[in-house]
Amino acid sequence: MSIAESPLLGPMRKSMGNFTVYTLNGMNIVRSKAFKHNDAKTEKQLIMRTRMTLFGKMYRTFNSIICLGFPERDERKSPQNMFVSVNFTTAFVMVDKTPVISYPLMLLSKGSLPKVQVLDAGIDGDGITIRYGADLSFKGLHATDEMVACALLKSGPLLITRQIRGHHNPGTIQLKYPDLQADEVTCCYVFSRSGDGKKASDTVFVGVNG
């Protein structure tokens, strides 16, 4: 609210734009009001809103992984910006005209390192074990690379393991969770990072078998 006492304006009343003006006890009172907000609800706009809501949920779930997965980015962009950018048009399928996250299409990392070659993955009494190719003669692979694996369980926990690639071929990485059953796993991923943390590979979705 503003009070105007200019003798040049004299008594004032009515509205203009988002201002309402009236006179009280010889003073001009100016109040601002919120601009009218048009809550557009076209099909395209609703789809966009749904996508952004899903991105928010996925970021909250995977933020600790996403912060590792996008080191090769413009300094003006955050890992969250990159996560949305690389997934916005590709990580969804439409179900009854509603966008739904496709876990096999979603990327938690993106970069210039070679994709991890997943040989197989399975569940045993200790958790999820992933075997991957680690032939260091392959261009871009180094023993000092870091392997990052994660799995989201339907009950809520996000399992995470980080380890050095090493010299053994094939290599193995394990997400420990005793007595885990295959139908309890929502999704599982693996990617690699350079030893200095400045590069990453694209995420690989891992299908796990009981």
Residues in the chain: 210
Do 114 and 167 belong together in one domain? yes
Do 23 and 47 belong together in one domain? no
Owning domain of residue 73: 43-205
Query: Is 179 a member of any domain?
Result: yes
Do 57 and 108 belong together in one domain? yes
CA angle 96, 99, 105 (to 5 degrees): 120
Do 109 and 61 belong together in one domain? yes
Return the biggest CA–CA distance within the chain: 88
Do 52 and 24 belong together in one domain? no
Q: Can you tell me the distance from the alpha carbon of 197 to that of 188, in angstroms, rounded to the nearest whole number?
A: 22
Query: Is 15 a member of any domain?
Result: yes
In order along its 210 residues, the chain shows pLDDT tens digits of 444 455 544 555 555 555 676 666 666 676 666 555 566 678 788 888 888 899 999 999 999 999 999 999 998 999 999 999 999 989 999 998 889 999 999 999 999 999 999 999 999 999 999 999 999 999 999 999 999 999 999 998 999 999 999 999 999 999 999 999 999 999 999 999 999 999 999 999 999 876
Do 16 and 105 belong together in one domain? no
Query: Is 210 a member of any domain?
Result: no
pLDDT at 48: 84
Do 164 and 64 belong together in one domain? yes
Query: Is 105 a member of any domain?
Result: yes
Query: Is 37 a member of any domain?
Result: no
Do 115 and 27 belong together in one domain? no
Do 27 and 84 belong together in one domain? no
Do 14 and 87 belong together in one domain? no
Q: What is the total count of domains within the chain?
A: 2
Do 24 and 49 belong together in one domain? no
Do 145 and 166 belong together in one domain? yes
pLDDT at 3: 47
Query: Is 38 a member of any domain?
Result: no
Q: Can you tell me the distance from the alpha carbon of 132 to that of 168, in angstroms, rounded to the nearest whole number?
A: 10
pLDDT at 8: 45
CATH code for position 132 = 2.60.40.10
Q: Can you tell me the distance from the alpha carbon of 12 to that of 15, in angstroms, rounded to the nearest whole number?
A: 9
Query: Is 186 a member of any domain?
Result: yes
Query: Is 182 a member of any domain?
Result: yes
pLDDT at 19: 63
Helix 43-69 crosses helix 79-87 at what angle (to 10 degrees)? 130
